[in-house]
Amino acid sequence: MRIWDIKPELLCRKHLLGEHAELHALWSILTKGKKGYAAHPETMRWRGKLGALFNRHEKQVKEMKRRGYKHNSPLEKKLATGKSRQTEYVDSPTEQIRLLRSKSCACKI
Rounded to the nearest integer, the mean pLDDT of the chain is 97
**What residues does 82 pair with on adjacent strands?**
49
Predicted pLDDT at 73: 97
CA–CA separation, 105 and 50 (whole Å): 29
pLDDT band with cut points at 50, 70 and 90 for residue 87: very high
pTM of the model as a whole: 0.95
Predicted pLDDT at 35: 87
Cα 84 from chain centroid? 13
